[in-house]
Amino acid sequence: MKPFLWLLPVVGLLHQPAAAQAPAPALTLPSVIDLALNQSAAAKQTQTTRDKSYWVWRTYQANYRPQLGLQGTLPDFNRAVTPVVQPDGTIDFRAVRINNSNLALSVTQNIGLTGGQVFVASEVQRFDDFNGRLKRYNNQPVAIGLTQPLGKFNSLKWDRRIEPLRYEESQRQYAEERETIAQRITELYFDVLEQQVNAEVASQNVQANEELLRIGKERYQLGRLSQSDLLRLELNLLNARQAMAQGQLDAQNAAVSLQSYTGLQAASLRLAVPAAAPRLVVPAEQALAQARQNRSAVLAFRRRLLQAEREVALARGTTGFQATLSANLGYVNQAGNLWDTYLALQNQQQVQLTFALPLVDWGKQKSIVKTAELTRRQVQTDVAQEETSFELNVQVQATQLATLGEQLHLSARADSLAQQRYTIAQATYKVGRISLTDLTIASAEKDQARRAYILALRAAWVAHYRLRALTLYDFERQLPLAAK
């Protein structure tokens, strides 16, 4: 006999008779997983995290593209009494009423290889002295410049190595988290299913024990059954009713947990017993190869090592000798009229080198660099240990998959045999050919086999989704699990 496929609704067991209303369609495990992946809070949080990573990636890309900007001060009006130094060194206080405005347009481009920046700019400035009826323009139609750090930390170079890994890692994490959600839904699904099974088994036992008690009372009246056996039949019925009530209560509590995670209505849960999980034989080497190719952890290991190297470079680039070379050239002119500033433009050049070199720092530079190097060593050790644990988890999960599939097959067979044995024992007891003790043992074995089958089914399905999450690969269809 195959394991039963449908269970009674949780609330229907407590409140409504079966004929009062049509039962809601039973929910299957794949349908509950699909609903959770579309509407659960965990799925929405996963989507938000992926979207955030996308915009962080866009920010990184923008740092390597030309930036067009407009800056200005319009107006800069000032009406005040200002101290003015006279030719003889004295100070005279004069009332001023001026406006000094400027407008600049610039295009900048970062140089990732060197960490410098080039720019092309155009700027015009206007000065008005309203008291003196004076108006002047200072115009720089075009200027080209370069700013180049020397001996400093180049964040652009390190971002180019790290950020692509971080973005690809986030895409893989999204797929992994969806598989993790599927695994968690499977666990919650079977939490409810186990309690519904207990309630269903207890309900069947109540019906069977009611019939046995009726037969027992008839035999007792005929003197063919002892009072002790009659009392045991009554006790079995009470125990079955108590187990049914407890099973219904536990099923409701488990349904609430499933509802809070998925957003489903607990009152409408009616779960179907899933078919057996796919019986797959996945070699540990194949699982490990897919995990190395698809998992975000592999990229995370590389990223963390690069970040540790980056911190060492940062420590070295913010201590010791540092300099900045600035150079620009262009054309400039001033006049009382804006259009006149474009006539007879004058060359403008500027070269500047600023530097800083600590002469005595009492070992500060060495301490900062040494701390970063020790941190890098610790990260290397942690990553090596986590890589070993990562590979071991994948291999163990792949190895256990076949064993769990075999256990499920054996549990299904044991469930069928125990149900058949109980049916035969029940019929044999009714004709008085076996004792009540033998019937009770057969009943307990039947209930235990049913629960063991559900537990084996749970373990097989959880392992199925866990291997998918660990490898980001669907071994049933032989396809990678790409982020949707």
Q: Which amino acid is at 62?
A: A
The pLDDT score that the predictor gives to residue 383 is: 96
Coil vs helix vs strand at 338? coil
Global pTM reads 0.79
Encode pLDDT of 223-261 as tens digits: 777 888 888 888 888 988 888 888 888 888 888 888 888
Q: What's the average model confidence in pLDDT over 163-179?
A: 93
Within 13 A of 184's CA, how many CA atoms are on the CB side? 17
CATH among 1.10.15.40, 1.10.10.10, 1.10.1840.10, 1.20.1600.10 for 10-60+158-306+374-480:
1.20.1600.10
Give 64's strand partners. Answer: none
The pLDDT score that the predictor gives to residue 268 is: 61
The answer to which of 12-21, 56-65, 89-98 has the lowest mean pLDDT is 12-21
Encode pLDDT of 254-299 as tens digits: 888 888 888 776 556 778 899 988 888 899 999 999 999 999 999 9
Residue 96 CA to chain centroid, in angstroms?
A: 63
Q: Which two tokens stand for residue 472?
A: 């980001």
**How far is residue 226 from each of residues 302, 332, 434, measured CA to CA in Å?**
77, 120, 14
**How far is residue 220 from each of residues 169, 213, 217, 261, measured CA to CA in Å?**
74, 10, 5, 53
Q: Backbone phi, then psi, for 136, in 5-degree steps?
A: -135, 150
Coil vs helix vs strand at 477? coil
Residue of higher predicted confidence among 166 and 482: 166
β-pair type (322-335, 346-356) = antiparallel
Q: Backbone phi, then psi, for 344, in 5-degree steps?
A: 50, 55
- Strand segments (E) across 357-430: none
- Does residue 1 surpass a pLDDT of 70? no
Q: Which two tokens stand for residue 151?
A: 């001996």
Within 13 A of 405's CA, how many CA atoms are on the CB side? 13
Under a CB-based contact definition with an 8 Å cutoff, are residues 37 and 182 in contact?
A: yes
Under a CB-based contact definition with an 8 Å cutoff, are residues 194 and 455 in contact?
A: yes
Burial class, 387, CB count within 10 angstroms (exposed 0-12 / middle 13-18 / buried 19+): middle
Residue with tokens 């900007």: 69
Give domain limits for the chain.
10-60+158-306+374-480, 66-111+116-151+323-357
Residue with tokens 């003196």: 132
Bond into 75 cis (ω within 30): yes
Encode pLDDT of 376-413 as tens digits: 999 999 999 999 999 999 999 999 998 999 999 999 99
Give CA–CA dist 424/412, Å, rounded: 19
Under a CB-based contact definition with an 8 Å cutoff, are residues 136 and 334 in contact?
A: yes
Give 136's strand partners. Answer: 127
- Does residue 2 surpass a pLDDT of 60? no
Give CA–CA dist 235/217, Å, rounded: 13
The pLDDT score that the predictor gives to residue 267 is: 59
Q: What's the average model confidence in pLDDT over 102-116?
A: 93
pLDDT band for position 315 (cuts 50, 70, 90): very high
The pLDDT score that the predictor gives to residue 6 is: 34
pLDDT band for position 205 (cuts 50, 70, 90): confident
Give CA–CA dist 468/171, Å, rounded: 16
Count of positions (residues) in the chain? 484
The pLDDT score that the predictor gives to residue 308 is: 96
Under a CB-based contact definition with an 8 Å cutoff, are residues 326 and 146 in contact?
A: yes
Q: Give the rounded percent of residues in the chain with a pLDDT score beyond 70.
A: 94
Q: What's the average model confidence in pLDDT over 458-466?
A: 93
Which 3-state string (H, E, C) describes 60-105? HHHCCCCEEEEEEECCCEEEEEEEEECCCCCEEEEEEEEEEEEEEE
Terminal-to-terminal C-alpha distance of the chain: 41
Question: Quick one: which of 463, 444, 446 has its CA closest to 406?
Answer: 463
The pLDDT score that the predictor gives to residue 89 is: 85
Under a CB-based contact definition with an 8 Å cutoff, are residues 428 and 365 in contact?
A: no
Q: Backbone phi, then psi, for 448, in 5-degree steps?
A: -65, -40
Buried residues in 228-258 as b, exposed as e (16+ CB within 10 A) = ebbebbeebbeebbebbeebbebbbebbeeb
Q: Backbone phi, then psi, for 387, in 5-degree steps?
A: -60, -45
Under a CB-based contact definition with an 8 Å cutoff, are residues 471 and 397 in contact?
A: no
Q: Backbone phi, then psi, for 464, in 5-degree steps?
A: -60, -50
Encode pLDDT of 8-25 as tens digits: 333 333 333 333 455 567
